[in-house]
Chains A and B, each alone.
Chain A
Amino acid sequence: MSADLEALARAGVEAALAAGAGEAEAWCEDTTSRQIRVYDGAVESLSDSGGRGIGIRAFLDGRVGYAYGTDLGPEGLRTIASTAASVAAVADPDEYAGLPEVCGATPVEGLESPAMAGFSTERKVELALAVERAARSRPGVTQVENAVYSDSEGAAAIANSGGFSASYATTRAWAYASAFAGDGEDLMTGLGVGLARDPAALDPEAIGVEAAERALALVGARQPPGRRCPVVLDTFVAASFAGFIGGMLSADSVQRGRSLFAGRQGEEVAGPSFVLVDEGCHPDGPASAPFDGEGSPTRRTSLIEDGRLAGFLYDTRTARKDARETTGNAGRGYRSAPSVGATNLLVQPGHASLAELFAQAGDGLYVTDVAGLHSGVNPVSGTFSVGASGRLIEGGELGAPVREITIAGDLVGMLRDIAAVGSEDRWVPLAGSVRAAPLLLGEMAMSGS
């Protein structure tokens, strides 16, 4: 499949050059995916899908045009290629545009699991049902709204007029469940999730139980009085914040003046225990690949090192503008031109267990869910105010469940306030791909009743 795809990408490049492009690049994808949703012990929906498409980038005298499509016959390819070349005319010239200087692939072990093919649909249905059963089996769980199994097998290929072409294949399987505990206006929800290269590596019991326990932990939640206090962010919430911060470390956001990290390289932007890395070639990373959306090899990039801002994420264009090398962070799907984004973000785990973080917090708040992160944070000034729910921490132990709280502050202030990083890290595939650990924050403003 990969070899065919590479040939198709090369044909796309030829077609774009024939249509008048000075330089050209084509990106192809071929994906089959399956999703099984179960409800109340039976299949609610089962979908089985395939898709194939190409996106072509045409460069004409510094102007860049993009076109994509799903008609991959010779005539279809010619149409897509000539559209890319013709729409380039409306763009203003961009002195930094062009193909990467260095193309190549970083070997990443195990992107594709051979076990995927041997797993029948029946067994996948059984897996989804097992997730639901595990969640339901916990006393106090009133409902499992969703138990979902999903997987995909995909191949991607790139070719450019510099003579580079390459491809890779990946497999992924994931499952999640959303459990309810309590009733009526007191109903609380909890999410459990797991992700692997194939279904055999998923633990349905753990996913279901996680959903149940997250919901059960919040039963009876009330709105607490507002105050300033130490806060522990659980792994899911820490991952959401880390993902958001990763977005602001894109050199594109920085260069366009849309990041609060602009011009702060080398500055102390977080507590000394905080280390954040982007690693596009991590063997377990859900977003790992040998090369990025422009054909540059993926790699490990240090972003925040012992609290200091160490670097940004670059693609070819932004790297040229800053006179440096790309970090292999051009994100891509065939429907869109490459743009800078994080791959796998990793928060380096610390040494404290969750119980030790609670003890250190003394009296405070354990946040297990935040809502409105993307609307509640000003990416430029970093001020934020988000909705939260979780548990009180009383005398170093977990206390009463709480909801309808807002926590507010500014992002850099919050990062600098990180007093400790927990030791229990894990992948959280909710918003992007983040490997996170719980975080203890010295003090935050929490508003309630």
Chain B
Amino acid sequence: MVAPELVERVIARALARGGDLGELYAEDRHGFSVTLDDGRVEDPRAGAERGASVRVVRGEASYFGHVDGTDEASLMKVADSVAQAVRGDERRPAALGAVRVAQGHPVTERPQGVAAARKAELLRECDERARTAGAEVAQVSVGYMEERRLVEVFNSDGLAAADDRTRVRLSAQVVARRNGASGPRVETGTDTRGGHAGFELLSGDPGAVAESAARKALTLLDAVDAPSGRLPVVVGNGFGGVLLHEAVGHGLEADAVQKRASVYAGKLGQQLAAPSVTAYDDGRRTGEWGSDGIDDEGTPTRRTTVIEDGCLTSYLYDLVRARADGVESTGNGRRQSFRHLPVPRMTNTYFAPGEATPEELIAGVQRGLYAVSFGGGQVEPATGDFVFGVSEGYLIEGGRVTAPVRGATLVGNGLEALRAVDGIAGDLRIATGYCGKAGQTVPAGVGQPHVRLAELTVGGTG
């Protein structure tokens, strides 16, 4: 994208008034998406963007600018404007190394090479599957999206790295409706399939995604009001891992830790959970939604053990925060695009599988909640307080899953929830999430096997 000779001049220009690190990030991104709603294929949308950003880090401060386009004039202009903000003496960058192309993730069938008509067919197939799932299915919407990002990162330590990232994702939302004596009952179910992979990800029974969304919506039609109070909770595998992501993961991101804006600050080495609990952030996991070859600062992605046998073992670092703590970056410096500064972000975060079966976890609960999936969640990293909306949940009565419930939320605190983990199953699965932080949204894999929490506050509607 950018010639090495120009890269060197841009970084030198950016460091004209000093800095500990000068960096050029360039990106070429192509995307396509199309949706189906109410039986109609609509909103086919294609985008092509190319741009770059320049960053200078000096001491604790970062200076940053970005520009659309990667031509010489634009790059030199943005390097100049960034340098203007720095107050120091010129620094000479190290010579640039040869570009290391990251070990990527396998893409068998390039989505760009697949005819748009076939993608529209995929949507119709999903629509059909959802509608045949039950007579009470009232509405179906399905979305397909693909993206390819070619990323290049260069810095004044001589780093030159490149990554070629392809992602596809299929999502379905189904509304089921039943007319009753007290007015219509309307419920929504969703499901997704996505990965850092090609179109082949959708070759095996894509309609299953829509059917699963439809089943959730239909099940909820029979839902009773959720109970309230402090109850044992069994959290489902896959998207259930959003609990770990929100309640623990965000607090392990080194920017929050270093500002003491995390309950996990100062707790490294402490026993936070039972010895059966181990958790990872793993940006290398093949084909997973939150995986990349390198992070957005050029550091190769890796698997970081954040909790080992219940002990807090590591935070998640980008380059700037790693330097402040005198450690190596863990490859978690991520950004939404060339328009954003990198910040420490999770990749794929999950609890390691245990020995139990989901049935065993449930059998141990007299009266509790089985939270299969969440509609989303929110956490205040400083306190660890979290809230999750349970999108699919059931009562557990006498060690068995009974009636579906609606409107349940889980309210609690990350440290409290970790301490409460008293059972982990072996059925690890990772789901596709989008994570928002600092005004940036990045794909993040959330996952876990079935996990049981001895007690948590359930906010119900009943």
Binding site for B on A (CB under 8 A): 39, 42-53, 64-71, 79-80, 83-84, 87-92, 94, 121, 143, 145, 180, 184-185, 187-189, 223, 226, 256-258, 335-337, 371-372, 374-381, 383-387, 389, 403-406, 408-409, 445, 447-449
Contacts and interface: CB of A to CB of B under 8 A. Distances in A.
Interface string B32-47: 1010011011111111
A52 B116 contact: no
Interface on chain B toward A: helix, strand, loop, or mixed SS?
strand
Contact of A79 (B48, B228, B377): B48
From B42, B376, B383, name the one whose CB has the most chain A CB atoms within 10 angstroms. B383
Given A372-B388, A378-B186, 17 more contacts: A43-B61, A48-B82, A66-B46, A67-B45, A69-B47, A83-B46, A180-B261, A180-B382, A185-B263, A371-B378, A371-B387, A380-B188, A383-B461, A387-B386, A387-B409, A389-B385, A408-B407
A45 B50 contact: no
A257 B186 CA distance: 10
14 contacts: A46-B62, A49-B66, A51-B67, A68-B48, A83-B46, A90-B34, A91-B34, A143-B259, A376-B387, A377-B389, A381-B185, A386-B387, A389-B385, A405-B411
B382 A45 contact: no
Given A46-B61, A184-B263, A257 B138 contact: yes
A285 to B, nearest CB: 21
Given A66-B43, A87-B45, A447 B378 contact: no
Contact of B42 (A44, A91, A258, A380): A91
Contacts of A383: 406-407, 461
Contacts of A45: 61-64, 341
Contacts of B65: 47-50
Interface of B: 32, 34, 37-38, 40-51, 53, 60-69, 78, 81-82, 85, 116-117, 119-120, 138-139, 175, 177, 185-188, 226, 228-230, 259-261, 263, 339, 341, 374-380, 382-389, 391, 406-409, 411-413, 415, 457, 459-461
B230 A375 contact: no
B459 A408 contact: yes
Given A145-B261, A226-B228, A189 B380 contact: yes
B11 to A, nearest CB: 17
Contacts, number: 239
Given A90-B120, A447-B460, A376 B47 contact: no
A180 to B, nearest CB: 6
B175 A90 contact: no
From A52, A69, A88, A404, name the one whose CB has the most chain B CB atoms within 10 angstroms. A404
Contacts of A256: 37-38, 139
Contact of B186 (A374, A381, A385): A381
B43 A69 contact: no
Contacts of A67: 45-48
Contacts of A71: 48, 50, 69
Given A69-B47, A89-B116, A380-B175, A371 B389 contact: no
